[in-house]
Amino acid sequence: MEKTGVTRFDGLEEITVTARRVEENQQKIPVAVTTLTAAALENRNVSSVNDIQFNVPNLQIRPSTIYPTQPELFTAVRQGCGLSVLPDYLVAKDIAAGHLIHVLPQWQLPSGGIHAVYPAVRFRPPKVSAFVEMLTESFDQ
């Protein structure tokens, strides 16, 4: 039976771990377990899942599967294959419906800006010049 739970004894928490498909008290199993509460994560300035590896001994977080497109990644996450950073427009309905959980709601990707790559002035069509000028003006505001 695979099951984990927390039971309180006199103000102390007993954490049950299923590491070998057998429920055991955390203090009796032969593995190291690091437990971090939400307050501990906040105090240690953990702002992403990747930051957890710097607060847990011998933990390395690496992607095990790489998906080439966001819809494929979204499908994998929706089916329970792990955590991911996905755009709000893609996951908003599933979060609202309870199919997905926003794990770190206060965290967001750093803004990286927009880069436009276009030909030199000599070979640039007037439409491209007008578009670049419009982008520049709208982002300068």
Residue 13 lies inside a defined structural domain of this protein: yes
Is residue 77 within 8 A of residue 83, CB to CB? The reply is yes
Q: From CA 69, how far away is CA 84, in angstroms rounded?
A: 12
Residue 31 lies inside a defined structural domain of this protein: yes
Does residue 92 sit in the same domain as residue 123?
no
Q: From CA 92, how far away is CA 86, in angstroms rounded?
A: 10
Residue 77 lies inside a defined structural domain of this protein: yes
* pLDDT at res. 115: 74
- pLDDT, average across residues 42-58: 82
Does residue 115 sit in the same domain as residue 102?
no
pTM of full prediction above 0.75: no
Does residue 21 sit in the same domain as residue 32?
yes
Does residue 45 sit in the same domain as residue 73?
no
What is the band of 120 on the pLDDT scale with cuts at 50, 70, 90? Answer: confident
Does residue 28 sit in the same domain as residue 42?
yes
The pLDDT tens digits of the residues spanning 60-87 come to 777 667 777 888 888 888 888 878 888 8
Does residue 10 sit in the same domain as residue 50?
yes
Structural domains of the chain, count: 3
The pLDDT tens digits of the residues spanning 89-105 come to 888 999 999 889 888 88
Residue 60 lies inside a defined structural domain of this protein: no
Does residue 102 sit in the same domain as residue 121?
no
Q: From CA 99, how far away is CA 130, in angstroms rounded?
A: 43
What's the CA angle centered on 80, arms 78 and 82, to 5 degrees?
105
Does residue 30 sit in the same domain as residue 44?
yes
In the 8-state DSSP scheme, what is residue 111?
Answer: P
Reduced to 3 states (helix: H, G, I; strand: E, B; else coil), residue 25 is: strand
Sheet of 12-18, strand order: 5-9, 12-18, 23-25
What range defines the domain where residue 139 resides?
Answer: 111-141
